[in-house]
Amino acid sequence: MSDPAIHSSEQLIERALSIAREGRKKTVAVAAAQDVDVIDAVTQSHADGFLDAVLVGDRDRIVALAQENGIDIGGLEVVHQKDVTQAAHGAARLASEGKADAIMKGFLPTSSLLKVVLDKAYNLRGPNTLSHCAVLDIPGYHKLLNFTDGGMVVRPEPDQKLQILENAVLVARALGLSPVKVAVSAAVDRPADYSAHLLSDLDFVIPSALKKLPDLVIQGPLTLDVATSKDAARAYGVSGQVVGDADIFLVDSIEECNIIAKALINFADAVFAGVIVGAKVPVSLVSRTDSVANKKTSLAIACVLADYYAQQRVWG
């Protein structure tokens, strides 16, 4: 029997908890864990009961940071590795050996961590490019909306855009969505001039996605208002299964995605779960400015995604 679809950040954390209760609690390996916000997010999620964590990093610094900030790391395993790159290798090794289900970025640059994760030695590469999914729970919208890619690929080529979409669809499957509804973003619904990227969306990305990915509805070009509001769609005279009901908002540049998502987080109280998809384990990252809710939800989506990978044997 399949679980019901997840439509809110609360349901996301609830699912991560139920996965743990069913005996499949996920373990997160933290690379260079000497970062107070990361320690805080992991210990809170651990206290909630939806994950175990291995803190790979500078043990003295980790212990000191926890003490200074009154955080109890008693329940977490610490693996000492002072060098941050070596700590990343340590976390990747744990994931590679099946001892961790997800990797979390600590006190090192994202690019350094991802380079290690993609090191062939660990066999964690998937067939697709890595991309970032920002899954937003926006008050006023009736379901989660996945903005992608606002973190990894600056200006995707058509084939990369298809891979970004495939990654986002994996997340949608993990959330139990069926069918998955995809809006391909644009600034106007009926453009006078079809730009090169719009043409490649229409000629390549959309038909390829329909061919390759089952149980998918995809529509574009759609503006954000038409994708998320049936009233707006009516005003424009646009109909279809995706209008007012999109699960994924597939954009054309890192700027568009990043800026719109942050506008919703800062000014519309959207709760945000961010995860890097495309490797055989989810990669989680939180930033200092994320709220506690955002940090926890980001870890929860990594756990839910990792469980989906394991249950469905996505990577064989």
Partner 1 sequence: MNNQTIAIPEINTMEKLLARARELGGSRSLRAAVLMPHQPDILRGCRLAMDEGFISPILIGNRDCIDRARAAADGCLGKAEVVNAEFVDDAVQAALGMVNDGTVDLLVRGAAPQPDFVRLLTTESEGFVGKGTALGHIAFIKPERYQKLLALTDAVVHPEPDLKQKIALTENLVAACRKAGIDMPRIAVLAAVEVVYPQMPVTMEAAILAKMGERGQIKGAFVDGPLSFDCAIDPLAAESKGIRKSEVAGQADALLAPNMETAHGVYKAMALFGRAKLGGVLFGGRVPVAMPSTSDSVETIFHSIALACLLR
Residues that bind partner 1 (CB under 8 A): 138-141, 150-151, 154, 185-188, 190-193, 195, 223-226, 228-229, 231-233, 235-236, 251-260, 262-270, 287-289
Residue 309 C-beta: closest distance to partner 1, Å: 28
CB of 287 to partner 1, least distance (A): 8
Angle of helix 110-117 relative to helix 84-96, nearest 10 degrees, comes to 40
Shorter beta-carbon distance to partner 1: residue 57 or 220? 220
Give whichever of 1 and 192 is closer to partner 1, judged by the CB atom: 192
Phi, psi (deg, nearest 5) at residue 193: -115, 125
- Residue (262 or 280) nearer to partner 1, CB: 262
Residue whose CB is less far from partner 1, 138 or 301: 138
Cβ contact 250:131 at 8 Å: no
Least Å distance, CB 18 to partner 1, is 29
- Please identify, using beta-carbon distances, which residue of 97 and 231 lies nearer to partner 1: 231
Q: How far is the CB of 165 from partner 1 (least distance, A)?
A: 17
Q: Distances from the Cα of 179 to the Cαs of 98, 182, 241, in angstroms?
A: 31, 10, 10
The sign one gets for the Cα dihedral 129, 153, 212, 141 is positive
Q: Please choose, from the candidates 145, 205, 132, the residue with its C-alpha nearest in 3D space to the C-alpha of residue 175.
A: 145
Looking at the Cβ atoms of 98 and 109, the one nearer to partner 1 is 109
Q: In 3-state terms, what secondary structure has residue 209?
A: helix
Minimum separation from the CB atom of position 270 to partner 1 (A) = 7
List, in sequence order, every beta strand (DSSP E) within the chain. Answer: 26-31, 51-57, 77-80, 102-105, 131-137, 145-148, 180-185, 216-222, 248-250, 271-277, 283-284
Q: Which CB sits closer to partner 1, 5 or 36?
A: 36
Distances (CA, A) of 159 to 108, 170, 289: 30, 17, 33
Identity (one letter) of the amino acid at 156? Answer: P
Q: Give the bridge partners for 147, in sequence order.
A: 134, 249
**Closest distance of CB 299 from partner 1, Å:** 20
CA distance 286 to 274: 8
Nearest-approach distance from CB 62 to partner 1, in angstroms: 20
Answer for the pair 108, 34: CB distance below 8 angstroms, yes or no: no
Q: How far is the CB of 256 from partner 1 (least distance, A)?
A: 4
Taking the least distance from each CB to partner 1, the nearer of 94 and 144 is 144
Residue 55, beta-bridge partner list? 30, 78
